Structure 1
Amino acid sequence: MSTSATTAPATHPAEGAPVLQVRGLSCAIGGAVIVDDVTFDVAPGEFVAVIGPNGAGKTSLFNLLSGLLPATGGSVTLSGADITGASPSARARRGLGRTFQASSVFAGLSVRENVRLAAQARLGGSMRPWQLVRPGDAAQEIASRSLARVGLAGRGDDLAGALSHGDKRKLELAILLATDPAVVLLDEPMAGVSIEDVAGLTEVIASVHREEGKTVLMVEHHMDVLLGLADRVAVMHHGKLLALDTPERVTGDPAVQQAYLGEAL
């Protein structure tokens, strides 16, 4: 089924030319290897869950993919273009979107302004919040559609800082949608979200994946959430890709269960 940390590279998506290709991706800092020779492909529209014990290298992998960490080996190709040495902003312009474990919105701006600024940048404008908004403004229209998409259509005039943590996560998704990324990296979107908000946020993520056709890679510790969303599950362990396969096969893999201290997934 899936691959082990000491055998062949990970399985490839069943169909479709890969939108994301990762080959031998590695990162060593001060002699410590934090991501070790990771190889995988992701097909357009695929949902890949990334799991692993604490310290397994999940966020470090995302940091390498998004350009926040420099690779010391290997390559990353997005939609046929080698982005291994590209800056985070260059990767974003090529269609790579990213959220972080900590909420990252402009708390002092309105919900709509947060999204409009992202749309404005996508359309070639600046990130200046004071730019004059005219009737029919394209960025404003994109912002309205993006907010409606995540269920925040009625909160546009509210301050972003006044939103609940769950709604801030939805706002972050709306900001991503406004930039129209080809590939979305979601790093623990449920972190800090109340139990009552998890189901609603999960449905928004599922809807964005299904109806927008976005390719999604998501790190999350809520296994029940991930297994209901993912086409495939990638398991990181000690910086290596331990397994990459369907949720059913991964959760039944003895090597994966051992990585989780013998606990059944």
Structure 2
Amino acid sequence: MSTQPAPAARPAAGAPVLQVEGLTCAIGGAVIVDGVGFDVAPGEFVAVIGPNGAGKTSLFNLLSGLLPVTGGTVTLAGADITRESPSARARRGLGRTFQASSVFVGLTVRENVRLAAQAKLGGSMRPWQRVRPGDAAQEVAGRSLERVGLGARGEDLAGALSHGDKRKLELAILLATDPAVVLLDEPMAGVSIEDVAGLTEVIASVHREEGKTVLMVEHHMDVLLGLADRVAVMHHGKLLALDTPAKVTSDPAVQQAYLGESL
């Protein structure tokens, strides 16, 4: 059996980088994602919103391979990844963060990012691996930390960071793997009001300057509407709407889904 990594996502010119068709997941007879379909263009920023329990995180779990698909397909840069493992999808260029912070608190900030870079470059995930001068993973880690504004915190323990800075560290870890498509699941969760603006700017700059395709779930509507090219609205596991922020927020069906509240 070949151990060669799957090729990174490189869509054909003009083609969507991510295509979802009829995506469905039923668990124990309950349908939690129901026939969802959409395309995402390279470099596009799509916000995913919806009331609690609408299926937003479940959708991300299906896209990243953490939930089994019971119907439909997921295509990344022309490759059908519907049945691939999370690690295979990551090697193809699909990156993911989670609602709960997930860093190695006992390692330094730089070591957290270096491990991700080592894995991407075909090395091991051993934190005790000796780092030589000019080490490629170390250089990637340095650039990624500078990118998110943590360049001066590299030797600090990750556990000593504020929650907002841990979120930035997670973004640096993601950038070190050079994903083509980034799934951000509530990156502002638990972040103090004072840190929201800085984290928002980091995400915006990664999208603009790195050209990453971003799908983001977030409850800070002002943040999302300022970042998104399009907004996807989930409701009862279905895709209720997908359009520009202005059109989605003025849609009566969307407002009804939010209990009649204006967005």
Using the size of structure 2 for normalisation, the TM-score is: 0.95
Q: Which of 106, 114, 121 is matched with 2:104 structurally? A: 106
The question of 1:128 aligning with 2:138 is answered no
Aligned residue for 1:173, secondary structure, equals: helix
Give the distance between the partners of 1:249 and 1:17, measured in 2 at CA: 24
Q: Which of 38, 42, 45 is matched with 2:43 structurally? A: 45
Report the counterpart of residue 227 of structure 2 in structure 1. Answer: 229
Aligned residue for 2:178, secondary structure, equals: coil
Report the counterpart of residue 7 of structure 2 in structure 1. Answer: none
Give the distance between the partners of 2:79 and 2:170, measured in 1 at CA: 26
Report the counterpart of residue 87 of structure 2 in structure 1. Answer: 89
Q: Which of 135, 140, 143 is matched with 2:141 structurally? A: 143
Give the distance between the partners of 2:48 and 2:159, measured in 1 at CA: 29
Alignment RMSD: 0.7
Give the distance between the partners of 1:176 and 1:216, measured in 2 at CA: 12
Q: Which of 61, 70, 73 is matched with 1:72 structurally? A: 70
Q: How does 1:161-240 map to 2 (within 5 A)?
A: 161-240=159-238
Report the counterpart of residue 154 of structure 2 in structure 1. Answer: 156
Amino acid at match of 1:34: I
Give the distance between the partners of 1:140 and 1:84, measured in 2 at CA: 33
Cα deviation, residue 16, structure 1: 3.3
Cα deviation, residue 180, structure 1: 0.2
Cα deviation, residue 17, structure 1: 1.2
Amino acid at match of 1:49: A
Aligned residue for 1:62, secondary structure, equals: helix
Report the counterpart of residue 63 of structure 1 in structure 2. Answer: 61
- Identity of matched residues, %: 90
Aligned residue for 2:223, secondary structure, equals: helix
Report the counterpart of residue 245 of structure 1 in structure 2. Answer: 243
Give the distance between the partners of 1:16 and 1:205, measured in 2 at CA: 25
Cα deviation, residue 63, structure 1: 0.2
Cα deviation, residue 204, structure 1: 0.1
Aligned residue for 1:50, secondary structure, equals: strand
Q: Which of 15, 21, 27 is matched with 2:19 structurally? A: 21
Give the distance between the partners of 1:159 and 1:82, measured in 2 at CA: 39
Amino acid at match of 1:57: G
Amino acid at match of 1:158: D
Report the counterpart of residue 114 of structure 2 in structure 1. Answer: 116
Amino acid at match of 1:23: E
The question of 1:31 aligning with 2:23 is answered no
Aligned residue for 1:127, secondary structure, equals: coil
Give the distance between the partners of 1:205 and 1:53, measured in 2 at CA: 23
Report the counterpart of residue 3 of structure 2 in structure 1. Answer: none
Amino acid at match of 1:155: R
Give the distance between the partners of 1:43 and 1:16, measured in 2 at CA: 8
Give the distance between the partners of 1:16 and 1:49, measured in 2 at CA: 21
Give the distance between the partners of 2:89 and 2:243, measured in 1 at CA: 27
Amino acid at match of 1:104: S
Report the counterpart of residue 5 of structure 2 in structure 1. Answer: none
Amino acid at match of 2:17: V
Give the distance between the partners of 1:240 and 1:190, measured in 2 at CA: 24
Give the distance between the partners of 2:52 and 2:14, measured in 1 at CA: 32
Q: Which runs of 5+ in 1 are unaligned?
A: 1-14
Give the distance between the partners of 1:110 and 1:257, measured in 2 at CA: 45
Aligned residue for 2:256, secondary structure, equals: helix
Give the distance between the partners of 1:131 and 1:75, measured in 2 at CA: 39
Misfit runs of 4+, over 3 Å:
none
Give the distance between the partners of 1:202 and 1:185, measured in 2 at CA: 15
Cα deviation, residue 247, structure 1: 0.1
